[in-house]
Chains A and B, each alone.
Chain A
């Protein structure tokens, strides 16, 4: 088994000697206080970094705007920028009647963007790189959107799967494809976010492992720098993509007709 060889490898080379890759160790959940097992209510590094995300959101959106200036200072203009960015996205993609759900989408965006960027700090724990986290987010969106669709349109919501513009013979096939793609949505929605974050962080860690070899360490450091730049981009783009896809799904629920 790979795990056994992995363990044996680590034991054989020892820490710091030779090439030892533990790219996944940064994702380990562990209790902040003591060494006990991780229960549901245990305060862990997950708790710490989620709490930091909340604090950052409060710092930017509440403390940053506390001056209520007509002419904004730096923090306030960033907060207004985030507000306008998400508001415009919801309005453009989901339509005027989607603006009602703007606070929920803003919550998702602010959380993901701060969790992603906090994860880029050295020694940080990236909460959004865990499927447990992103699946909850994606399932919340999926269930909310589906329930909303049925509440708004009743059985007519199923017209989403019935492509009325296609030839009649093709429609059942298309309906099957549409249903499958509908149920794949939360899967791709969650794996995209967690996968991107995990991939970037793991790759940086692998490059960091190469830095132990003196000959390639300059290249390795350069590669880490480049990857870090890319990861900053990815951290924002994935938050943006998650949010805009949520808006697209919301639009489907509000206007199911093709």
Chain B
């Protein structure tokens, strides 16, 4: 327990001959000066190290970190805002696209309807023209048929009269046939 014994002639008044303390070492007057001297030296050294080097450095580190953190927070806020804007723009684009698609569909439908109507109209008109032409032809045919009937009737009447041996005047015969046909 006792550290290496100190030679008795050199031992101070506070250390017994066996190297252990006499009384409390804390109250030994002859050691006070030594402790106070080295303590003051120590405190001055620590004070200079702290106030010149360590504390400004740590304060700078903490301030820098604070700055970085608030910077990063601002940046994050900015990015969030940008993301929100992008989302809004995307949604707007989506809505626009939907409206555009609807418009185009509507237009196409209207166009097709117009075209169909126009085609139908054309067809109707062609059909009408064709009908009119046919009617004309039929009328012509009918007219020519009537004419033919008249001629055939006159020819037949003449022949018939000839056969009967009556022999009639052609002009008289024609007039009678005309009259008959009209009648």
Give Cα A118–Cα B42 distance, bound, in whole angstroms: 15
Q: Provide the A183-198 mask, 1 if CB < 8 A to any CB of B, else 0.
A: 0000000000010001
Flag the segment in B58-66, B134-142, B147-155, B165-173 that touches A: B58-66
Q: Which of A3, A11, A41, A110 contacts B46 (CB 8 A)?
A: A110
Instruction: Answer whether residue A51 sits at the interface, using C-beta atoms and an 8 A cutoff.
Output: yes
Report if A61-B58 is in contact (Cβ < 8 Å); known contacts: A27-B26, A129-B26, A136-B39.
Answer: yes
Q: Which of B20, B41, B49, B54 contacts A79 (CB 8 A)?
A: B54
How many residues belonging to B are interface residues under a CB distance threshold of 8 Å? 54
Which residues from 1 to 15 on chain B have a C-beta closer than 8 Å to any C-beta of chain A? 1-3, 6-7, 10, 12, 14-15
In the complex, the answer to whether B7 meets A35 with C-beta atoms within 8 Å is yes
Contacts of B16 in A (CB 8 A): 3, 7, 10
Contacts of B3 in A (CB 8 A): 25, 28, 30
Q: Which of A22, A38, A61, A137 contacts B49 (CB 8 A)?
A: A61
How many residues belonging to A are interface residues under a CB distance threshold of 8 Å? 65
Q: Which of A69, A102, A107, A127 contacts B35 (CB 8 A)?
A: A127
Contacts of A137 in B (CB 8 A): 39, 43
Give Cα A15–Cα B68 distance, bound, in whole angstroms: 64
Give the interface of B toward A (CB within 8 A).
1-3, 6-7, 10, 12, 14-28, 30-43, 45-47, 49-51, 53-55, 57-62, 64-65, 68
Give the interface of A toward B (CB within 8 A).
3, 6-7, 10-11, 15, 20, 22, 24-25, 27-30, 35-42, 44, 46-47, 50-51, 53-54, 57-58, 61-62, 65, 68-70, 72, 76, 79-80, 83-84, 102-104, 106-108, 110-111, 127, 129-133, 136-137, 140, 194, 198, 205, 208-209
